[in-house]
Amino acid sequence: MANLELDLAKRRGGTVKLPEGALDRFRAELRGSLFLRDGEGYEAARQIWNATVTRRPGIIVRCAGVADAIRTVNFAREHELLLAVRGGGHNIAGSALCEGGVVLDLSPMKAVSVDPRRRIAQVSPGALLSDFDHEAQAFGLATPLGINSTTGVAGLTLGGGFGWLSRKYGLTIDNLMSADVILADGQLVRASEDENKELFWGIRGGGGNFGVVTRFEFRLHPVGPLVTAGLVVFPYERAHEVLARYAELTASLDESSAVWAVLRHAPPLPFLSPDVHGTNVVVLAVFSLDERSRVRALLDRIRTFGTPLGEHVGEMPFVQWEKAFDPLLTPGARNYWKSHNFRGLSEGARDIIIEYAGKLPSPQTEIFLGQVGGAVNRVSPTATAYVHRNVDFVMNVHGRWESAEEDAKCIQWARGFFVASTPHAAEGVYVNFMTEEEGGRVGAAYGQNFDRLVRLKNQVDPTNMFCTNQNIVPDGRTVGRANGSPARATERRHHR
């Protein structure tokens, strides 16, 4: 392989050409694959979930194992190259790619090993939720993850992680027992409550700012294999009544159950009449580990909210429910999110949600309210980097569409909704739901934990090698990303 005239992005701006033979030597050290811009296989290697992100890295290294990841970190550091880290490639901000730099792609590393006796899973960083569930559910075990089986376990975990099991068993990070982490200097260390304790604190919600995790160790819980789950669909015209009753229901719901609310155009679900398809609806997504009689009582209560347009709730394999929303979240569409946390669901918040749900800019756009609380909120806000331990709902304003011509309309709608709903929201934001231009919200994402995270960053990554993320800058200023590279730093802010 010739060195070529390859201009690579430097971490602190500008470009550099590698010394003669450097690329050849690096390639010879790898067991995995290396893709060069415009070379064979490159276009396929750079595809990620969100099609609005079109950055073109200079080099993509698809790692076959931990040694490849260490060598890639060392190569990027030695040549001062911009470095991005890819797990599942599902992050809304496109943090898996950087413009002109090096992508450390962990996606081939999908191993999941379950010890059913100790109820522990060892998970590699390229594993998706479907990989994890496939192995753990063979033993009737699970840990709280997300709601889309194609999401990467690594990125989900590093931002905190919540899903259907969180009210019962906490966040994903509340079930993380240890991790192996490659630091900026190339060291591979173990982080746990007993080793590198401060690093362990930081990676639980710190969003990949401190290193490359090459192994996660999770605590597992008995779940399934059958659970009760499904959808109850109400007409949009009943939205005020449904959401008011929903707010009352969720305030007293048993922690073994979770009910999420989604406002969108009705997908062509087989249990809905064809004349309902494409109309505005309010969907309540019901999940429960509870006994049948209690679930029946829950459903009876939900039915009193109004006459459903249709419902499909019953016993099903947990792995099937984890994949239920996959058809609505396939890769390749254009996506833009805005997010708020809510403590309770006030009348003012409900009114804004309903107003904007009545003018959705595309058939795939939706507003969802993910119910958390329960076990999530019994953990101290300073116990992990993830700080939002007093939140009842995480709202995601999920703009989704197909063509670039729709960008302005859909993004404007999402931003308008975000601004209108801000007075009714709690402070803070879930870091995994932040888009690439929201670097000014990093302080809000970490609140009272931010200063401690800066101190940790100073210790383990003082040159800010891991910067293509919602970045915690070593000197204590927040920074966004412009086309996958560090942007001008701005003073940190602890508010929205």
Q: Which of 435, 341, 322 is nearest to 386 (CA)?
A: 341
Q: For domain 7-105, which CATH number applies: 3.40.50.261, 3.30.70.20, 3.50.50.60, 3.30.43.10? A: 3.30.43.10
Judging by DSSP bridges, how do beta strands 33-36 and 59-62 pair with one another?
A: antiparallel
pLDDT band at 479 (very low <50, low <70, confident <90, very high): very low
The CATH class of the 112-222 domain is alpha beta
pLDDT at 486 (0 to 100): 44
pLDDT at 119 (0 to 100): 98
Q: Give per-residue pLDDT as tens, 219-277.
A: 999 999 999 999 999 999 999 999 999 999 999 999 999 999 999 999 999 999 999 99
Q: What is the mean pLDDT of residues 467-479?
A: 81
Q: Give per-residue pLDDT as tens, 290-324.
A: 998 999 999 999 999 999 999 999 999 999 999 99
Q: Give per-residue pLDDT as tens, 349-394.
A: 999 999 999 999 999 999 999 999 999 999 999 999 999 999 999 9
Domain extents in the chain: 7-105, 112-222, 226-433, 439-486
Strand boundaries in 162-253, DSSP class E: 176-182, 188-192, 212-219, 221-222, 226-235
Q: 3 pLDDT exceeds 90?
A: no
Q: How far apart are CA 450 and CA 331, in angstroms?
A: 33
pLDDT at 494 (0 to 100): 36
Q: For domain 226-433, which CATH number applies: 3.40.50.300, 3.30.420.40, 3.40.462.20, 1.10.630.10? A: 3.40.462.20
Cis ω on the peptide bond leading into residue 225 (within 30° of 0)? yes
pLDDT at 477 (0 to 100): 54
pLDDT band at 185 (very low <50, low <70, confident <90, very high): very high
The residues near 111 (Cβ < 8 Å, ≥ 6 apart) are: 122, 123, 124, 127
Q: What is the mean pLDDT of residues 57-63?
A: 98
